[in-house]
Amino acid sequence: MEKLTLAQADTIIDQTFAKGAELGFKPLTVAVLDDGGNLVAFKKQDNSSVLRFEIARGKAFGAIGMGTSSRNLAKVAEERPSFMAALVGASGGKVVPVPGGLLVKTSGGDIIGSIGISGDNSDNDETAGKAGIEAAGLTTD
């Protein structure tokens, strides 16, 4: 099975930043995790606020941990708040169920990692992240 490489993670981050700049987004922070939830790469743009790393990593961690985007986890949080509270607790507070966490998949659909983006509103975070993933020749949901 294919593994997420550092070169791919760097491309994802750089192209996420490029899309954010193109669209005039606020400074972004991006965390890229492998399929085991380990941090592969992280960067924050100048003037991105202090807690953005924790938020970005938490979005990515929830996505890879549950095998779905953090947008879907946000829906679960609305529909089943007790389950989400238990999930956040079981993860030691690492899961952030807010849009902006995306699975990273091969063209064949295998999950090889996740990314979390934080800095602008959640929809914009997601838009930039999708562009980053696609620029690396990978896919997402």
Render pLDDT for 87-111 as a digit per residue (tens, 0 to 9): 999 999 999 999 999 999 999 999 9
Q: According to the model, what pLDDT value does residue 110 have?
A: 97
Angle in degrees, CA 88, 92, 28, rounded to 5: 75
Note the pLDDT of residue 1. 79
Residue 66 CA from chain centroid, whole number: 13
Q: Which stretches of the chain score pLDDT less than 50?
A: none
Using DSSP, state whether 27 is helix, strand or coil: coil
Sketch out the chain's domains with CATH numbers: 6-135 (3.30.450.150)
